[in-house]
Amino acid sequence: MTSIDTSSADSPTEAADIREPRLWTGDGWTAKVIKNDDDDGWAVAMIKDGISEPALIGPWTMGRDKKNPKPLDGPAFSTLVKTASEFVRRSEQQLHATLHQDITVTARGARITVSLDIEPDDENPSAWLSACDEGGEELAKVRVAASFRLTRASAVAWAENDFARPRGD
């Protein structure tokens, strides 16, 4: 049987949060206690609203009978939401760092910031290599292969070569 907490609903159209021993929803998240396929224990899956795959799966505590999982409760759910949110935030930061790189170099007698912005695509990934002066004005922008390696040496070489498209692209 599903128990529903309607006290937190701000409007009649807002869905009420679910508060069951093995299923909680709220704050944009669903916590679902599941059987751990790897052993006799239990796990909890944290699923962000609108996303089909769990953002995080972690071990869950056994109950007092040592057979069934400990029921979810408010403090545990709050901790799980905080942990899952932080995990998603760090994953997004890592993805951004992988797809966007900046290097500031001295070339052509000036400080130039060279950026590589990768556009991920399963079939045809590509990237943009761009250069800006100290005032942020764009000096050049060319399309390069997503595999282009941005290093100090490649940034300086590109600038010294009048921002011509790098060889091999």
Alpha carbons within 13 A on the beta-carbon side of 65 = 5
Q: Is the pLDDT of residue 14 over 90?
A: no
For residue 169, being part of any structural domain is answered with: no
Distance between CA atoms of residues 106 and 114, nearest Å:
10
- If pLDDT is split at 50, 70 and 90, which confidence band does 7 have? very low
What's the confidence (pLDDT) of residue 168?
62
Same domain assignment for residues 151 and 105: yes
Q: Specify the number of domains making up the chain.
A: 2
For residue 82, being part of any structural domain is answered with: no
Task: Please state, rounded to an integer, the average pLDDT across all residues of the chain.
Answer: 89
For residue 80, being part of any structural domain is answered with: no
Distance between CA atoms of residues 64 and 120, nearest Å:
48
The two most distant CA atoms of the chain are separated, in Å, by: 74
Distance between CA atoms of residues 27 and 17, nearest Å:
9
Same domain assignment for residues 62 and 107: no
What's the confidence (pLDDT) of residue 3?
34
Indicate left, alpha or beta for 163 from its phi (over 0: left) and psi (-120 to 50: alpha). left
For residue 81, being part of any structural domain is answered with: no
Instruction: Look at the alpha carbons of 71, 76, 82, 88 in this order and tell me if their dihedral is positive or negative.
Output: negative
Same domain assignment for residues 61 and 12: yes
For residue 31, being part of any structural domain is answered with: yes
For residue 89, being part of any structural domain is answered with: no
Distance between CA atoms of residues 153 and 116, nearest Å:
14
Q: H-type helices in the chain, by residue range? A: 74-99, 152-160
Q: What is the pTM of this model?
A: 0.68
What's the confidence (pLDDT) of residue 169?
54
According to DSSP, the residues that pair with 118 across neighbouring strands are 127
Same domain assignment for residues 17 and 55: yes
Q: Of 25, 55, 72, at which residue does a domain stop?
A: 72
According to DSSP, the residues that pair with 19 across neighbouring strands are 24
Rg of the chain over all Cα atoms, to the nearest angstrom: 25
Domain around 139: 99-160
**Residue % of the chain over a pLDDT of 70:** 90
Which residue, among 138, 129, 19, 8, has the nearest Cα to 71 in the 3D structure?
19
For residue 126, being part of any structural domain is answered with: yes
Q: What is the pLDDT of residues 40-69, one digit of tens each?
A: 789 999 999 999 999 999 999 998 998 899
Across 32-44, average pLDDT? 88
For residue 90, being part of any structural domain is answered with: no
